[in-house]
Amino acid sequence: MPFTAATVATSVEPCRIYGSIFLEKDPRRRGQSFATVYVEPEEAFADVLVYEESNKLFADKTGFWYFTGARDFADYVLFVTDNRALADFSIQYTKIRSYAGCRNGK
User: How much of the chain, in percent, has pLDDT values that exceed 90?
Assistant: 82
Write the pLDDT tens digit of every residue in 49-63: 999 999 999 999 999
CA 81 to chain centre: 11
Tens of pLDDT, residue by residue over 42-92, are 988 999 999 999 999 999 999 999 999 999 999 999 999 999 999 999 999
> What residues contact residue 93 under an 8 Å CB cut-off, 6+ apart?
39, 49, 50, 51, 52
CA–CA separation, 47 vs 91, rounded Å? 6
Is the whole-model pTM more than 0.75?
yes
3-state secondary structure of 58: helix
